[in-house]
């Protein structure tokens, strides 16, 4: 349940243009077992380059 909360907060941050704030939340979601968060991290990091 916490993993989903971190994921959702990360997604909201991404949609709001706050990529650097989104990545730690998405990473934590992945660590907690919400593995699809890692795909979003990869995409988000591309936008930072």
What is the DSSP code (8-state) at residue 30? H
Query: Tens digit of pLDDT for each residue in 7-46?
Result: 999 999 999 999 999 999 999 999 999 999 999 999 999 9
User: In sequence order, what are the residues at sequence separation of 6 or more whose Cβ sits closer than 8 angstroms to the Cβ of residue 29?
Assistant: 3, 4, 6, 7, 10, 37
Collapsing DSSP to helix, strand or coil, 11 comes out as helix
**What is the predicted pLDDT for the residue at 30?**
98
CA distances (Å), origin 36, targets 28, 49: 12, 22
**What is the predicted pLDDT for the residue at 9?**
99
* Cβ atoms < 10 Å from Cβ of 25: 23
Q: Is the pTM of this model over 0.75?
A: yes
**What is the predicted pLDDT for the residue at 48?**
85
């Amino acid at each position: 349940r916490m993993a989903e909360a971190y994921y959702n907060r990360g997604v909201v941050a991404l949609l709001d243009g706050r990529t650097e704030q989104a990545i730690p939340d998405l990473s934590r979601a992945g660590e907690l077992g919400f593995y699809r968060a890692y795909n979003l991290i990869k995409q988000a990091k591309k936008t930072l380059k």
